Structure 1
Amino acid sequence: MAESNSPQHILTMSSEQRQRFLESFDWVFSDIDGVIYNLESDVPDAGLAYSALERAGKRLTFVTNNSVRTLEQTVRRFERSKIQVTPEQIWHPAQTLVYYLRSIQFEGLIYIMASQQFKAVLKQAGFQLLEGPNQFIEETYADLARHIFDKQPVRAVVIDVDFNLTSAKLMRAHLYLRHPDCLLITGATDRLLPVGKGVNIIGPGAFASILVEASGRPPIVMGKPGRPLGDMLLQQNKITDPRRVLMIGDMLAQDVLFGRQLGFQTLLVLTGGCSLSQLRAVTDPDLLPDYYADSVVDLVQLLAESTPKAHG
């Protein structure tokens, strides 16, 4: 790991430091959006970095908070960036939720605010979903009440990215959460989503926080930086020493915090949701990465100048 409290740019490390760094991890967990591509364009030559990591014997898993794309769509999008992956190498909150619900032997009705792609994952896994209201509501309390008060036995409220989220949906979810056994489960936690250079939009985390505050319930988090996701990844990949995992990401509150909570090493890249000035302003040690790079492509140069040895 980095040898001081300040993150070090990976290309400023000495030859000895680079060697120790490359020999210190076997697994790479990498974010996708902001690391490999953004909404507008690809990160130039990002695919070269992952090819170089694989040639160095590193095992790759991609961990995203984006459940809007299906696994098949993500695989095809990776191909445009010249990265060959299988669906089994990609994890997003909807998959984590299925894993979690099965692990607690969940039975019951789920009220969900999420994309159609997210819902499809749960339906395919056999869970019962309830959604809405999706129709226009007259601006009277009587009509509002007809759409938000409901006696169905909902036992989990799930909120992720929902492009058609309304205040009525949040009100209905809040009413379900009055039941003491109803779970509050969140997917993506991003309060802001970078969609282009210097352009952010409000993310699902901001809307989820409304339910957290209104209900007084701590959420069970399925996306980064949630613990259930980390535990699942460690178990699925049979990883016994989390220190030998390198987490690569572009967001402090999602990627870096996720990695630090799990005991991973962390590498922040400056191609997405965090600028160098924002990184330098960090005072919370839980948000401070071990290393940083201008782009994931910096790993290509680092690997070319080093000869990593396999961990015994």
Structure 2
Amino acid sequence: MESAPNDQRPEHILKLSQEQRRRFLNSFDRVFSDIDGVVWCMEYDIPGVADGYSALQGMGKELSFITNNSVRSMEQYERRFQKLGIKVGESELWHPAQSIVEYLRRIKFDGLIYIIASEPFKSVLRKAGFQLLDGPNEFIKENFGSLAKHIFDREPVRAVILDVDFNLTSPKVLRAHIYLRHPDCLLIHGATDTMLPVGNDLRIIGPGPFQKILVEATGKPGATLGKPGKELGEILLQHYNIRDPKRVLMIGDMLEQDVQFGRQCGFQTLLVLSGGCTLSELRAESSPERLPDYYADSVADLAKLVNDVAKAHV
């Protein structure tokens, strides 16, 4: 079954006919799912999601999770999944720090990295054996002499990585720009979200705008290892030896990060309205690249869909 044509509006999976439901469930073998806004939100777990994933796994679907959130440690993810009763192995959980490690290994990177990210993010790269440089992490006096002391040095940095950093400062961005002036210095992005949903009707600025500053200042587009990065898609396709992307279903709650990512990879896409996108925002979206093939209220709808199809064939 091919993805819905771009000129058609997406259908709610529970409004499909019985035959359409059956064809949909038979049209994919692997599922990639986002986490925040899909499995849980910051303040609460989304009801019924464990049943939805369990129903898919019961049909033999291969399940992996892909998130742009590297602020949580792997141990924190595993504990929260266990609390919900969702079985997820470490090898089936992808976040930008892990994806960047795999990317650096694939390009055989060897050198010093200047990094702007959270401590859990940095720990993943350090554990993988990469040498990191960060900061400045102290207060800087408001004069050029103090600034210059903290952004100019002779460190042989050959890659700059930018992800979510709750302590991001202007000197950090300026220092990154100085390193990136070297023609051989790589620019690598983790999450590129412009806005981060942190609660009901509350969003804060994400790392995306700061990454755009470096892209425009250096002329280097960089490699993006968070959704919707092309480089992340290439890694997943190779890692799982995916030969027919149409037989993959991408589940997410964001039109740009999840749906656009899935579409550019050639996956089918399912938007859930349990997180960062409302029904009115979905209906207002006009870009074909950001229109999902299907939508649902939450992953819990998949359990009902699977059960209804099973009952019809008893």
What aligned pairs does 1:1-312 form with structure 2 within 5 A after superposition? 1-2=3-4, 5-307=8-310
Distance (whole Å) between structure 2 residues aligned to residue 124 and residue 229 of structure 1: 21
- How far 1:82 moved relative to its partner? 2.1
Q: Once superposed, what is the RMSD of the aligned Cα atoms?
A: 1.2
Q: Which runs of 5+ in 2 are unaligned?
A: none
User: How big is each residue's C-alpha offset from its partner over 1:247-288, in whole Å with a ceiling of 9 and x where there is no partner?
Assistant: 000011100011000000000000111111111111110011
Distance (whole Å) between structure 2 residues aligned to residue 49 and residue 21 of structure 1: 15
- 8 Å CA contact 1:176–1:182 kept in 2: the answer is yes
Question: Aligned partner of 2:212: which letter?
Answer: S
Q: TM-score, normalised by structure 1?
A: 0.96
Q: TM-score, normalised by structure 2?
A: 0.96
DSSP 3-state at the match of 2:309 = coil
DSSP 3-state at the match of 2:103 = helix
Moved more, 204-213 or 153-162: 204-213
Distance (whole Å) between structure 1 residues aligned to residue 75 and residue 276 of structure 2: 25
Distance (whole Å) between structure 1 residues aligned to residue 132 and residue 229 of structure 2: 23
- How far 1:216 moved relative to its partner? 1.9
Question: Aligned partner of 1:2: which letter?
Answer: A
Question: Aligned partner of 2:82: which letter?
Answer: E
- How far 1:236 moved relative to its partner? 1.7
- How far 1:140 moved relative to its partner? 0.4
Distance (whole Å) between structure 2 residues aligned to residue 234 and residue 220 of structure 1: 16
User: How big is each residue's C-alpha offset from its partner over 1:76-124, in whole Å with a ceiling of 9 and x where there is no partner?
Assistant: 1112222121111100111111111111111111000001111111111
- 8 Å CA contact 1:2–1:8 kept in 2: the answer is no
Distance (whole Å) between structure 2 residues aligned to residue 175 and residue 115 of structure 1: 21
DSSP 3-state at the match of 1:248 = strand
DSSP 3-state at the match of 2:242 = coil
- How far 1:2 moved relative to its partner? 2.9
DSSP 3-state at the match of 2:159 = strand
- How far 1:147 moved relative to its partner? 0.6
- How far 1:206 moved relative to its partner? 2.0
User: How many residues get paired?
Assistant: 308
Distance (whole Å) between structure 1 residues aligned to residue 237 and residue 54 of structure 2: 23
Distance (whole Å) between structure 2 residues aligned to residue 295 and residue 32 of structure 1: 12
Question: Aligned partner of 2:309: which letter?
Answer: S
Distance (whole Å) between structure 1 residues aligned to residue 228 and residue 124 of structure 2: 21
DSSP 3-state at the match of 1:193 = strand
Question: Aligned partner of 1:157: which letter?
Answer: V
- 8 Å CA contact 1:25–1:243 kept in 2: the answer is yes
Percent same amino acid among aligned pairs? 62
Distance (whole Å) between structure 1 residues aligned to residue 278 and residue 213 of structure 2: 28
- How far 1:234 moved relative to its partner? 1.8
Distance (whole Å) between structure 2 residues aligned to residue 13 and residue 305 of structure 1: 11
Distance (whole Å) between structure 2 residues aligned to residue 249 and residue 207 of structure 1: 24
